[in-house]
Amino acid sequence: MILGANGQVGWQLQQQGLALKRIDTFPLEIIPIARQGTQLTLDLTDSSAIQTVIRTHQPHIVINAAAYTAVDRAESEPELALEINGTVPGVLAVAVEKIGGLLIHYSTDYVFDGTSSTPYLETDSTTPINAYGQSKLIGEQAIQAKAQNHLILRTSWVYDVRGKNFLLTMAKLAQTRPQISVVNDQIGSPTSAPLIARITYQILAQLLATPDWQTLTGLYHLTAQGFTSWYGFAENIVAHLAESSSHPLAELIPISTRDYPTAAQRPAFSRLNCQKLQQTFGITLPAWEREFGIVWQTWLQSRPT
C-alpha cells in the first residue's frame, strides 16, 4: 500500500512497482492511495479512515510517501505540518503493527541543525531548526515507539521531472529570467525520486529474501552520493539545459543565505552518511551528478518533439 501516491516519491514507487510487477520478479500487488485521483482515496487527517483502510486491505507493507513538505509554509501552519508529519506516522505505525505488517516511511536531512562539518550518521543527535524538521522528527519518534517492524529512510533535496521541486523551478526560471540568485552556502545532496523508489524496492527485495529480516529494519540514511550547494545544483541544471536549448538562459548569481531570507531557517550543511544502508544491503549509491544526468535524459526523451 503506497500512501502519497501522487507525490514525487509516491509516484515513482507506483510506476516502478508496476514495472516490477510486469516483469514478474516481484510478488507484488500495489494499492496506491492519494487524496484524489486513485481508486482508493484517503485524507490522512482522518485517522479512523487510515485504520479502516489498513484493517480492510491488510497490506503486508505500507509505504508512507505522504508528507507535508512545504518547508516555509510550515512556519505559519505548524499544527497542520505536525498533524501530517508527526501524528499520522504514529497512527500508521499502530495500524500496521496490529496487522503484523512492515511500515516504510521517509524522513529528512532537516532533522539536523546543520552545524556538523562531516556527513550526519543515523546515531547523531537531532536538533531541527524549523517547524517542518521538528514535525518530521516527531513522526520518526512515533514510528520508533509504536511499530516494531519499520524502515525509516531519511533523504534530502528530492527532485524529479514532475511535482514541485528545485529542478523544475530552476529550469523554468532559467528560461524566463535574465538573472537568478541562488544560495551557495547551504550544502547537501540532491536525490532523485526515481533513485529513492529504486533503492526502496532493492531493500524490500532483500528483506523478502532474508529469513530474519526483522534484524535489518530501523533507521537508514538514503541520498545520492557527493554534495553540492543549491547554487551548484542550479549550475548543473542550467548546463544541461544549455545543451538542448537555443534560447539565452539566465545568468546565475551566487548569494549567501543571509541575502535570501525565507520563513524557515535551513541547515547550512545537511549531508547524510549512507554507509549503514550501503553496507547492510550491499547497495552502491550513485553520485548525484550521474543520477541527475540519467533523470535529465529520461526527461528529454519523454518530452514531445
Ligand X SMILES: NC(=O)c1ccc[n+]([C@@H]2O[C@H](COP(=O)([O-])OP(=O)(O)OC[C@H]3O[C@@H](n4cnc5c(N)ncnc54)[C@H](OP(=O)(O)O)[C@@H]3O)[C@@H](O)[C@H]2O)c1
Q: Which lies closer to ligand X via its Cβ, residue 66 or residue 249? A: 66
Residues 44-63 interacting with ligand X (rule: CB under 6 A): 44-45
Check residue 155 for interaction with ligand X (CB under 6 A).
Answer: yes
Q: Which lies closer to ligand X via its Cβ, residue 48 or residue 246? A: 48
Binding residue for ligand X (CB under 6 A) from 16, 108, 134, 200?
Answer: 108
Check residue 16 for interaction with ligand X (CB under 6 A).
Answer: no
Only segment of 38-46, 123-131, 200-208, 288-296 that touches ligand X (CB under 6 A): 38-46
Check residue 217 for interaction with ligand X (CB under 6 A).
Answer: no
Binding residue for ligand X (CB under 6 A) from 61, 63, 67, 238?
Answer: 67
DSSP characters over the chain: -EESTTSHHHHHHHHHHHHHHHTT-S-----EEESSSSSEE--TT-HHHHHHHHHHH--SEEEE------TTGGGT-HHHHHIIIIIHHHHHHHHHHHTT-EEEEEEEGGGS-S--SSPBPTTS-----SHHHHHHHHHHHHHHHH-SSEEEEEE-SEE-SSSS-HHHHHHHHHHH-SEEEEE-S-EE--EEHHHHHHHHHHHHHHHHT-TTGGGG-EEEE---BS-EEHHHHHHHHHHHHHHH--S--PEEEEE-GGGS--SS---SB--B--HHHHHHHT-PPPBHHHHHHHHHHHHHHHS--
Residue 68 CB coordination number (10 Å): 23
Binding residue for ligand X (CB under 6 A) from 1, 2, 9, 111?
Answer: 9
- The grid coordinates of residue 153 equal 529512510
Q: Which lies closer to ligand X via its Cβ, residue 163 or residue 267? A: 163
Q: Which lies closer to ligand X via its Cβ, residue 147 or residue 249? A: 147
Only segment of 106-114, 117-125, 144-152, 237-245 that touches ligand X (CB under 6 A): 106-114
Check residue 84 for interaction with ligand X (CB under 6 A).
Answer: yes
CA distance 220 to 298: 28
Q: Which lies closer to ligand X via its Cβ, residue 10 or residue 194? A: 10
Check residue 270 for interaction with ligand X (CB under 6 A).
Answer: no
CA distance 51 to 140: 19
Q: Which lies closer to ligand X via its Cβ, residue 182 or residue 249? A: 182
Binding residue for ligand X (CB under 6 A) from 8, 130, 184, 192?
Answer: 8
- The active-site residue out of 68, 106, 110, 132 is 132
Counting every residue written for the chain, the total comes to: 305
Q: Is 201 a catalytic residue?
A: no
Instruction: Give me the least distance between CB of 80 and ligand X, in Å please.
Output: 8
How many residues bind ligand X (CB under 6 A)? The answer is 27
Binding positions for ligand X, rule: CB under 6 A: 4, 6-10, 34-35, 43-45, 65-69, 84, 106, 108-109, 136, 155-158, 163, 193
Q: Which residues are catalytic?
A: 132
